[in-house]
Structure 1
Amino acid sequence: MIERFLDRVLPKTLGNRIAVIGFSAGLLASLFAAAGIGGILTRRAEISEAAWLGPTIAAAYERTRRMSTEFRVKRLKELEIANSIHYEWLPQAADFGDNPYTPLPPPYYGGPLISVYSANGPLRKRLLATAHPLPTLEAHLTSLAVSLARHDEPISLQIRYPDGSLLRITSPQYWHSRTTEVTWAMIMLAGMTLTAALFLIFCQRLARPYRLLARVTKDHDADSLPKPRASWTREALDLFGLLSSERIGRKEMVAERTRMLAAISHDLRTPATRLRLRSEKIDDDELREKIHNDLDSMLTMIEDAIDFLKGTIVEEEVQKIDFLSLVQSICDDFADVGMPVTLTDPQYPTVETRSTVFGGEAEALDLKRLLTGNMMARPVALKRAVSNLVGNAIKYGHQAKVDMLVKPGELVLEITDRGPGIPDEEQGNVMKPFYRLEKSRNRETGGSGLGLSIAYTVAQAHHGKLELINLQRGLMVRLTLPRGLELQENQRGH
């Protein structure tokens, strides 16, 4: 409902929407600022204006203090000013319960006793204090009228006549409850803060389509693109259409390439089988064995390429596995055929304990009993990745030393060889499919160029990290894998 309303009100293009939202936010902030500043200035003007009450009250007191009671009451009614000053004659001090009238110190010239009453409790003495002596009753009442107006609450003023009776003065216009200057300032700050928050919310909503599109640009599945909404800007819809077309085109291209390779593989199987059968008639054992090896290498390269292009690595179901046992079985398979593979015992983090005043000694305890190698993973893909890394270490580094580190949140596999290593400038390239450092295209020396690519893809599919670290002699390949909690949640989301 809100999105439909905004789509009808706001323009379609991103630039115009930013301009409208920015202008609206600026206007709203200006209104709050104007209201706050206007309220503060108006309040200060009212406080200054209250100064005229002093001479008026002093004149009324002087005119009525020598009159009899009958004429005094009548004269006070005549001197009243509607909504500004009200006079009331009292034969004695009024009783206001818990908040009686508070006497004020008389002027130094010995004027009449003046007292004030506030229903909200004692007045703030700081506002009643004066910085210099006031020589006359008029000056004293003028300063007092302004001070009482600053309290922003209903106040009554009482002056004692010489005969002991009292003159009570109230001012509905100046001495009453009102919005204080602090409240106006808080209203202004709160309004501007609200405006900034609304501006940020609208900006976030404007940027949301672009964040969604940016988040899925690394995903090769065209179906993962978010569904466009009518509230999206014209630029976001155009970008969605471009990404959708590009992803569909890429998917069709990969599918076509996969079909082509599958057809080539299928077509090559029959002649390869015939060549294998015919090679059996070759008397030269060495030549026959070389032909068999070439045929096997050719078919294996084609099958590896098809598996990589099909994306079967990341389509496998996620399962709970024991990573330590998986690595152990891979190393055993290599060792069974005489490959130089060394698997060290897994390492566990330690916790240091300290001695206390109650006894005990400082010692380091490992977490072997608390941690296991269980994780959520795609077992076939992960086994293939680890096998590729161990195989590369043996093939190019002449040996493979496998170390494992078990942490509470992740598992780390380090494979070290004694080979020439990989130049730093080439480490990014070797992660690309079909890229080989050895340019002879000889499978025995350069491989198919998919080993590290597959391992890198598997690491990314598990939200892990694959690092290549050149040592003083040899290369270390570090595979860091989280235990798969995020991976499990993503799997449920699909």
Structure 2
Amino acid sequence: MRPSFRLRSLGTLWTLSAFLAGLVAAWLWVGSNAAWQLHRMQAYAGGVALYDALTGDSEPPAGIRLSPLSQGETLLANKGAFARLQTPGKPAFITNVSIHAGRGEVIAGSLLNIAVISSTLRYHVSTLPQGQNRSVPEKLGAVTQLLATYCSDPILLARMDDGAWVRVDGRALWGCEAEPDDWRLPAVFLAILAIGILLSQVAETSATFDRFAHALRGRRRLGGPESYRAEGPGELREIVEAVNAYLEAERAQLSKRAVVLSGVSHDLGTPATRLRLRTALIPDVELREKLEGDIDRMTGMIESVLTYTRNELNTEAPRQISLTALIEALVEDYQDCGDPVSFTRRAPEVIEGGRSVFMSRSGQTLGPEERRVLAMARPVSLQRALSNLIDNALKYGRRATVELEAFADRAIITVEDEGSEFSVADIEGMLAPFQRGPNAQSVDGFGLGLTIVATVAEQHGGVLSFEAGQRGLRARLEIQRG
């Protein structure tokens, strides 16, 4: 058996794990940001110091080398054919930058031309900061900082005014090898992974409660097991144990009730038989018939109560049956006995077809008239419930009409009488056990028929309801098909 954890312990563990994952992700993100900021600042500082090296006032800064172009390369550069300076076979993206000295500078009027040759991208120099208050070294630093933002290892050519072109090799500052490790994407992935794991664990834990609730909800309809097992937190296991204990006590109580009623029915069999024999010896015919009627009512009442208790025990296993065949067979049995019972079939359904390239409008077809409505049900219990509804329709009305309406997930069996004087409120008051109508003296029964029907409907995940029909009172037995 897997170890059981309490929800409080799981919640604490998940919270700490999420906090730790968030802390690591934040540390990776902040550390990468700081490293990249330092990398770009070093490239900016190198570009500022590079200007003095280009003017000849100082040596190139560390990580930057200056070398003159050959005669052929100089000719190409002077013509602006910078793409031909790229390694043959590689694409060439040229980015030209012209930096003018600002007003008030000592070198006012000087011009720095820069050509950036890259095999991967063209730099957006329009994003560089502009302004008259920025010096030429600062503007050059902004360019080298832009180069350090992307991994491209560009070739950088520079020329002061009309001087000679110089190749600038600063890959040690702004090249791909100088870039720090970027852990921001793994940090985002770690955060998403932690959130995903946390949400999946919460969903799985919630699903264990949902699965148990679904199994418990369909227990009466699907013939659930005598006890349940559930994998999940300790609170769920305690709930399952409590439910199992309750179900066991309920079964024991119903079994004792059935045993007592069976024993009473059996024990009354012998006295009832003796009473029938002794009643047959009574010469007074009227008195003899009254005594025999009382004996029949007494034994019939015991059998009705026993039938109701057996329905509560829910011992019949559900199986897939044809509701259409069940209703047809039951109605034919009544018709063989001469009872006015009929089964009304609904008109065939019109099925809309899809459009095609050969038809401008969708076609229509009729569904089969003899459709078999299948359902997962208890045939004996369902037949007993339908028999009770038909018997009531015949008792309180002149005839019974049965209809079947099927949907994707449920089926509705309707039994309508003709000429019943009961209202919907009157008939709903008879759903309680041993409740009978005002004509109880003239109609046989013990007031358990509708109670049994309502119990069978609950066992099939449905409900018994009543409504006023066109000819009389209509009983609607709704059950689940799945």
Alpha-carbon distance between aligned partners in 1 of 2:181 and 2:122, rounded to the nearest angstrom: 15
Which of 87, 100, 105 is the aligned partner of 1:96? Answer: 87
Q: Measure how far apart 1:476 and its partner are.
A: 1.9
Deviation per residue, 1:412-459 (Å, 9 max, x gap): 3211233423329x84x7656x2526599x686584343233323333
Match of 2:141 in 1: 142
- What TM-score does the superposition give when structure 1 sets the normalisation length? 0.76
- What TM-score does the superposition give when structure 2 sets the normalisation length? 0.77
Q: Measure how far apart 1:150 and its partner are.
A: 2.5
- The answer to whether residue 89 in structure 2 is matched with residue 87 in structure 1 is no
Q: Measure how far apart 1:187 and its partner are.
A: 4.9
Deviation per residue, 1:445-479 (Å, 9 max, x gap): 58434323332333344444533334588432222
Amino acid at match of 1:244: N
Deviation per residue, 1:133-178 (Å, 9 max, x gap): 6886423312211222222443342324777452322143444275
Q: Measure how far apart 1:62 and its partner are.
A: 2.1
- The answer to whether residue 60 in structure 2 is matched with residue 56 in structure 1 is no
Aligned 1:129-278 pairs, distance under 5 A = 129-132=128-131, 137-160=136-159, 164=164, 166-176=166-176, 178=179, 184=184, 187=186, 189-218=188-217, 219=219, 223-227=225-229, 232-233=233-234, 235-278=235-278
Q: Measure how far apart 1:255 and its partner are.
A: 1.2
Alpha-carbon distance between aligned partners in 2 of 1:123 and 1:377, rounded to the nearest angstrom: 73
Q: Matched residue of 1:343: which SS?
A: strand
Given that 1:216 and 1:224 are in contact with CA atoms closer than 8 Å, whether structure 2 keeps it comes out as: no
Alpha-carbon distance between aligned partners in 2 of 1:317 and 1:203, rounded to the nearest angstrom: 36
Match of 1:13 in 2: 6
Given that 2:412 and 2:479 are in contact with CA atoms closer than 8 Å, whether structure 1 keeps it comes out as: yes
Amino acid at match of 1:468: F
Match of 2:422 in 1: 420
Q: Matched residue of 2:15: which SS?
A: helix
Alpha-carbon distance between aligned partners in 1 of 2:8 and 2:410, rounded to the nearest angstrom: 45
Alpha-carbon distance between aligned partners in 2 of 1:194 and 1:481, rounded to the nearest angstrom: 45
Given that 2:115 and 2:157 are in contact with CA atoms closer than 8 Å, whether structure 1 keeps it comes out as: yes
Q: Measure how far apart 1:237 and its partner are.
A: 3.3
Given that 2:317 and 2:378 are in contact with CA atoms closer than 8 Å, whether structure 1 keeps it comes out as: yes
- The answer to whether residue 16 in structure 2 is matched with residue 23 in structure 1 is yes
Match of 2:310 in 1: 310
Q: Unpaired runs of 5+ in structure 1?
A: 65-74, 487-494
Which of 446, 449, 467 is the aligned partner of 1:448? Answer: 446
Q: Matched residue of 2:167: which SS?
A: strand
Amino acid at match of 2:297: S
Q: Measure how far apart 1:272 and its partner are.
A: 1.0
Q: Please provide the CA RMSD for this pair.
A: 4.1
Match of 1:107 in 2: 99
Given that 2:67 and 2:167 are in contact with CA atoms closer than 8 Å, whether structure 1 keeps it comes out as: yes
Match of 2:81 in 1: none
CA spacing shift, 1:88–1:450, aligned 2, 3 Å: farther
Given that 1:154 and 1:175 are in contact with CA atoms closer than 8 Å, whether structure 2 keeps it comes out as: yes
Given that 2:155 and 2:168 are in contact with CA atoms closer than 8 Å, whether structure 1 keeps it comes out as: yes
Which of 474, 477, 492 is the aligned partner of 2:475? Answer: 477
Match of 1:466 in 2: 464
Given that 2:311 and 2:455 are in contact with CA atoms closer than 8 Å, whether structure 1 keeps it comes out as: no
- The answer to whether residue 35 in structure 2 is matched with residue 36 in structure 1 is no
Alpha-carbon distance between aligned partners in 2 of 1:356 and 1:236, rounded to the nearest angstrom: 54
Q: Measure how far apart 1:54 and its partner are.
A: 2.0
Amino acid at match of 1:250: E
Q: Unpaired runs of 5+ in structure 2?
A: 74-84, 101-108
Alpha-carbon distance between aligned partners in 1 of 2:469 and 2:27, rounded to the nearest angstrom: 68
CA spacing shift, 1:45–1:366, aligned 2, 3 Å: same
CA spacing shift, 1:167–1:328, aligned 2, 3 Å: closer
Given that 1:393 and 1:415 are in contact with CA atoms closer than 8 Å, whether structure 2 keeps it comes out as: yes
How many matched pairs? 453
CA spacing shift, 1:263–1:126, aligned 2, 3 Å: farther
Q: Measure how far apart 1:87 and its partner are.
A: 0.8
